Amino acid sequence: MRGEVPEIEAHELRAWIEAGRVQVIDVRTGPEYVLFGHVEGALHVPIGRLDDRVDALGLDPNVPIVTICQTAHRSIAATRLLNRRGYEAYQLKGGMSRASRAALQRRHRSARRERAARGP
């Protein structure tokens, strides 16, 4: 476990996504999210806004959460925050820079995710 938080490999995350049993939060900046793409269905909430926004995201406490950033550094803080709030949270091991394109399908920003990041 890097940074002493639970981690998940990209192929495991893909299996969870395909099974419909995971919530994904991407904590990268807006430019990173757009430039490098993101996991389809991920909520985009930059790390600096996560603490204030987590209650408004409508997360299911019975479904695991995987946090994602570019290099698996910011996702450590996100995973810790979510674990402290009682969620079962993991970080994507190695971040998006390590995840293969084959393992995780990447999409461009959607209006729904942009609204989630900005708030109501």
Q: Which domain holds residue 88?
A: 2-118
Q: Is the whole model's pTM more than 0.85, yes or no?
A: no
Q: Give the model's pLDDT for residue 8.
A: 95
Q: Give the model's pLDDT for residue 7.
A: 96
> In this model, does residue 9 exceed pLDDT 60?
yes
Q: In terms of Cα–Cα distance, which of 70, 67, 93 is closest to 80?
A: 67
> In this model, does residue 111 exceed pLDDT 50?
no
Question: Which of the four pLDDT bands, split at 50, 70 and 90, describes residue 85?
Answer: very high
Q: In terms of Cα–Cα distance, which of 68, 79, 85 is closest to 25?
A: 68
Residues sharing a CB contact under 8 Å with residue 84, sequence separation 6 or more, in sequence order: none
User: How many domains are there within the chain?
Assistant: 1
CATH number of domain containing 57: 3.40.250.10
> In this model, does residue 84 exceed pLDDT 80?
yes
